[in-house]
Structure 1
C-alpha cells in the first residue's frame, strides 16, 4: 500500500491510500482508501479510524464530519483520519471484505504481500502505528449485534499504561467503559493488540448496531473524539462538552458470552442494559425443524450487565446472542 500523502508535511491533505489489486479487467489496479491528514508543527499524533467493518456507520459519519470541520491552524501536532479503512467492506455494506472475505479486526498484524485485507492490517501496523500516540477505533455491532454505547480498552501492559487507558475512558465519556482482553472476539488478532508493542494508546468505541444509525452513538463518537484530542494536547483550545459519568466494567472471559447451541428462532427474554443474574433465562430457542416441541431455554452462566444483543432472530449453532460485562475491581488494583 502506498499514498501520495506526505504525513510529515504541514497543512491539510486529502487523498487516499492505494491498495494494489490485480484482476482480469485491471491488471495493475488499486482500490482507494480515503485518507485525510492534518498537521501543524510538532506534537502528538492521533490516528482516527472507522469502517474497519463496513456495516458500522456511526464512526464513519462522525469522522466525515470531523474531516470537514477541523483546520490545521487549530491543532498542535497531527491527526490522520481514515473514515473507511476497509473500503471494500464499506462500499458493499458488509462486515467482511467482498474481495477476500477478510475481517480486518481479526487479521492483525497482517502481511505486506497477503490478501487485500491483510495488506491493510499490515500498513496500519507497520507504517501508521509506530508514529502514533493515540488511536481511536470507532465500531458498532453491524448487522448481527446491537451494542450499548460504550468504549473499550485492553488491559495495560504496565500499571502506568493501564491508568492512562482508564483515563481515556473517562475522557471519551461513553456511559460504559469496558476493559477486555478480547476473549471470544479476536484476542491478539485485533488492532489494539497490534498496537501494544508500539506504545500507542488505543481506545475502541461500540456505538450502536443492526447496520442502522444510532443518533446517540453518532454524537458520542464526534464529541468523544474531540474530548480525546483536547486531552492529549492536539486541540488545546477546543470547545467541547464535558463527559458524563462512566461506569468502568470488565468484559474478559468467554463465559460472559451467550451462544446458541442449535439452529432456530431466538426469542430474547432480556434487553440491552438489563442487569441479569446467574441461571436467569436469557432467551428461548424455537426449533424450525420441530415446531411442535417446547423451545429450549438458554440461561446465563454468570450475572452482569447486557452489553450487546443479537439483532437477527434467525440463528445457527455457534451464533453469539448476548455479551455480558461486570463491574471492574477497584481501579487501584492495576494489572
Structure 2
C-alpha cells in the first residue's frame, strides 16, 4: 500500500483510451472537500512496454505541456502498442498559475521527490508520481524548458547507464529523440539515487528515463515545439509502440558535459555578449551588468570561469547577485 490520498479517474490496467484526472484532495476556505485536477490520459492496447511522458513539473515550461496534450488528443487505441501514460501538467497548480512553483505551497515539484503521501499538495503529487505512476513504467520521458528565467536549445538530459539493459535503452531514447544537444551526466543515477527530481524518482524505480530542456523564456517557440513533437513520436516508434509511424532521417545529437554556470555578481541590467552555441574561453568577458540608475557608472564585466560553449542563457534582463547568466558545457569525450 502506498498510503496515498490521491484517487485516479482512470484505471491503468484497462484496455482502451481513458482520459480524466488524478484527484488531489485540497481543503480550502472556498472548497472544504475540494480536489485539485491533475490531467491524465492512458492508452493501452495489448502487449508492449509502458512509457510515461510527463510535462508541467514546472508550471512555466510550455512546449512539453503542448506536446504531451497533443499526443493525448491525437493518438487513438489502434495507433498504440503497449501502454502510454500521458501527464501534461503534473504540478497542475503551478501550470495553471504559469509559475515554476506551486502557488498553493511554494512547492518545486522537481525538488520534492519522493514526496509525502499526507503532505502538502506538491508533496502528495511527488509521492504519487514516484510510488504509483513510475512503478508501472519501463521507460519515462520528462519534458522541461528553461522556464521564465532561462533559454535552452532543444537538449536531452540523461545519466550514465548502470546495466547493459539501461545502456541499450538510453541509447535508443537518445537516438530516437534526436535533439540537437544531449547533456550527459557523468555520475549519479541508478537505483541508489538520492536526487529529489523526477529523474531521480525514475532511477530509484528502475525505469529507463531521459529528460529534455525545450526552449524557455516563458513562451512557446514553434521550431522547438516541432522538434519536441517529432522526437516523442520517434521515441514511440523506436520502442515499438507506434508501429505505423514512419520517422524521418536522423539529424544527429551533439553530446556535452556541463561544466557549470556563470553568475551575476551584483544587481543591474544584463547585457549578453554571447549567445547559445557560442564558444567561450576561460576568463573571457561574456556579459556586462549595466547600471542605468547611476549616471556615469560604467558597467561591470562578467567573465566565464569555464571554457566551452554556451548551452543555456538567462532570458531576463534584470539581474541580482547570484542569478545564473549562462550555463557552459564542453563536448563529451
TM-score, scaled relative to structure 1: 0.92
> Cα distance 1:282–1:89, how it changes in 2: closer, same or farther (>3 A)?
same
Matched-pair contact (CA < 8 Å) for 2:160–2:187 = no
Decide which of 205, 223, 230 is 1:223's aligned counterpart. 230
Shift of 1:19: 1.0
State yes or no: 1:271 paired with 2:280: no
Where do 1:66-105 residues align within 5 Å? 66-105=71-110
Name the CA distance, whole Å, in 2 between partners of 1:159 and 1:266: 45
Q: Distance in 1 between matches of 2:187 and 2:290?
A: 30
- Give the deviation of 1:241 after TM superposition: 2.1
Counterparts of 1:1-335 in structure 2, within 5 Å, are 1-158=6-163, 160-180=165-185, 188-251=195-258, 253=259, 256-287=260-291, 290-329=294-333
> What is the CA-CA distance between 1:10 and the residue it aligns to?
0.2
Does the CA contact (< 8 Å) of 2:134 and 2:202 recur in 1?
yes
| 1:332 paired residue number | none
Provide the rounded CA distance (Å) in 1 between the counterparts of 2:295 and 2:231: 47
Counterpart Cα distance in 2 of 1:224 and 1:323:
24
Conservation of the 8 A alpha-carbon contact between 2:172 and 2:238: no
Number of equivalences: 324
> Are the equivalent residues in 1 in contact too, given 2:186–2:257 (CA < 8 A)?
no
Q: Whole-Å Cα distance in 2 between the matches of residues 318 and 182 of structure 1?
A: 26
How far did 1:160 drift?
Answer: 4.9
Over residues 138-158 of structure 1, what are the superposed CA-to-partner deviations in whole Å (9 max), with x where a residue is unaligned? 111111011111111122234
C-alpha distance 275-162 of structure 1, shift in aligned 2 (>3 A): farther
Q: Given the superposition, is the C-alpha separation of residues 326 and 172 from structure 1 closer, same or farther in structure 2, using an over 3 Å criterion?
A: same
**Does the aligned pair in 2 maintain the 1:172–1:243 contact within 8 Å?**
no
User: Would you say the 8 A contact 1:207–1:214 is kept in 2?
Assistant: no
Deviation of 1:306 (Å): 0.9
Q: Is the 8 A contact 2:269 2:289 kept in 1?
A: yes
- Counterpart CA distance in 1 for 2:296 and 2:306 is 30
CA RMSD of the aligned region, Å?
Answer: 1.9
Q: Distance in 2 between matches of 1:166 and 1:302?
A: 28
CA distance in 2: counterparts of 1:81 and 1:259, whole angstroms? 36
Structure 2: 5+ residue runs without aligned partners? Answer: 1-5, 189-193
* Contact 1:150/1:205 (8 A) holds in 2: yes
Deviation digits for residues 69-106 of structure 1 (CA, Å, limit 9, x no counterpart): 11111211100111111111111111111101111111
Gaps of at least 5 residues in structure 1 are 330-335
Give the conservation status (yes or no) of the 8 Å contact 1:182–1:188.
no
